[in-house]
Amino acid sequence: MSTKTLGPVRRKFQPWTDPAAKPLIEFRNVIKRFGDFTAVNDVSLGIYEREFFALLGPSGCGKTTLMRMVAGFDDPTTGDVLLAGQSVKGLPPYSRPVNMMFQSYALFPHMSVEKNIAFGLEMDRLPKGEIAARVEEMLKLVKLESFAKRKPHQLSGGQRQRVALARSLAKKPKVLLLDEPLGALDRKLREETQFELMDLQMTLGMTFLIVTHDQEEAMTVADRIAVMDHGKLIQVATPSEIYEQPISRYVADFIGDVNIIEGRVESAAPVVTIVSEAAGTRVEVNSDTAVNAGDTVYFAIRPEKIAISPDAPAETGVNALSGTVFDIGYLGDVSVFHVRLDGGRTIRATVANRHRLIDRPISWDDRVWLTWGRDSGVVLTR
Ligand SMILES: Nc1ncnc2c1ncn2[C@@H]1O[C@H](COP(=O)(O)OP(=O)(O)OP(=O)(O)O)[C@@H](O)[C@H]1O
């Protein structure tokens, strides 16, 4: 199975960078209030045909509400939602070219797998032959051909989830909305199903909008991610941009692990030099962030970008801090070293375990050096 981000076709798939491209789904200054509570706060966003788009954020940030307004279960209080350039405000769910698959999907327990998949098509009174052909196609797509006659209780959780997916795909909606679609699956199955979803989405050429609070899932499946907080879009970008160039501490912290060092800009050019009293250090960064001497800023660096060594660095021009190891988290593939700097604060550095760990070269209470280059971290102003 292939990941689409590696494919040559997918690599060029960036309609959001094309000023002539028209979004398939568009939110225009959407505000949604429930009483005096604002669940969605002035969201403007375009999602393009064939895009796999993820809404990511903590519980209650407004992800599902945003999606429900596409599906037609809710309408904006103000602003507009458009599908293919047409406002869908006021249109009932069944008149929209959209289908929504819920986490707590309700398969009909008394119906077989094939009946479940056929249900929507029968409601639409499609000819019998066409329904049979479509059901067969869907069963093949989700690899459940041999399970057609079973009832939902005779399936595993993952298989049930695939039936729900087949059911929501059967009507071939232009847009499929997935609300935590893999929530019920264990980690291994979840990861496999993520790749299946990506393959399906590519094969069918559909537009997928997924809601998740699992950042790894969003990073894996999505072409772009919107990180939300309190009803607002904080950053909308590709997974790698979100990870490598977060625009704020909130985003940096929400996606993956990060060390954040607060400091003051000592000089802004040609490299940004930050002095941090709390960390007892000076950091040099190549940065595009517009800052001025004297500004308070935050230096953010991912643990895997910090090298850890018992020896002081030989090179000049790298950032180097010394400290003492006070904790080591062994995660199998990587080890996370918690290092207390001489100034008192803690930095985490991750090391890939490329060899089987029998004796650790670095252990508890060891004195170590942490080093990184000028391009390894980012400067954040908020
Ligand atoms: N019908 C409603 N009436 C009142 N408040 C609502 C209603 N629907 C949602 N809310 C509130 O709006 C906010 C956003 O809810 P929403 O379901 O969009 O969050 P979410 O980001 O999807 O969260 P989760 O990850 O927990 O599903 C929440 O604070 C929720 O309590």
* pLDDT tens by residue, 169-181: 888 888 999 988 7
Q: Which of 32, 34, 75 has the most ligand 1 atoms within 8 A of CB, as the residue to mutate?
A: 34
How high is the pLDDT of residue 23?
Answer: 95
The atom of ligand 1 lying closest to the CA of 34 is 4
How high is the pLDDT of residue 359?
Answer: 60
How high is the pLDDT of residue 10?
Answer: 59
pLDDT of 67 > 60? The answer is yes
Q: Does domain 4-97+173-249 have CATH number 3.40.1390.20?
A: no
pLDDT of 63 > 70? The answer is yes
- Give the C-alpha separation, 302 to 348, whole Å: 8
Please name the residue whose Cα sits nearest to atom 30 of ligand 1. Answer: 60
How high is the pLDDT of residue 358?
Answer: 58
How high is the pLDDT of residue 5?
Answer: 45
Which pair of structure tokens corresponds to residue 296?
Answer: 């308070």
Domain ranges of the chain: 4-97+173-249, 109-166, 257-380
Averaged pLDDT, 29-37: 96
How high is the pLDDT of residue 8?
Answer: 43
The confidence band for 357, taking pLDDT boundaries of 50, 70 and 90, is low
Average pLDDT over the chain, rounded to whole?
87
Q: Which of 64, 73, 100, 104 has the most ligand 1 atoms within 8 A of CB, as the residue to mutate?
A: 64
Which pair of structure tokens corresponds to residue 165?
Answer: 């997916």
How high is the pLDDT of residue 7?
Answer: 44
* pLDDT tens by residue, 116-153: 999 989 988 999 999 999 999 889 888 889 999 999 99
212 lines ligand 1 (CB under 6 A): no
The percent of residues above 70 in pLDDT, for the chain, comes to 94
58 CA distance to ligand 1 centroid (A)? 11
How high is the pLDDT of residue 156?
Answer: 86
Please name the residue whose Cα sits nearest to atom 19 of ligand 1. Answer: 60
65 CA distance to ligand 1 centroid (A)? 6
170 CA distance to ligand 1 centroid (A)? 29
pLDDT of 154 > 90? The answer is yes
61 lines ligand 1 (CB under 6 A): yes
pLDDT of 360 > 70? The answer is no
63 lines ligand 1 (CB under 6 A): yes
60 lines ligand 1 (CB under 6 A): yes
Please name the residue whose Cα sits nearest to atom 26 of ligand 1. Answer: 59
Give 257-380's CATH code, choosing from 3.40.50.720, 3.40.50.150, 2.40.160.60, 2.40.50.100.
2.40.50.100
Please name the residue whose Cα sits nearest to atom 17 of ligand 1. Answer: 64
* pLDDT tens by residue, 201-255: 888 888 999 998 888 889 989 999 999 999 999 999 999 999 999 999 999 999 8
164 CA distance to ligand 1 centroid (A)? 23
Same fold, 4-97+173-249 and 257-380: no
64 lines ligand 1 (CB under 6 A): yes
How high is the pLDDT of residue 2?
Answer: 38
Model confidence, pTM: 0.86
252 vs 287, higher pLDDT:
252
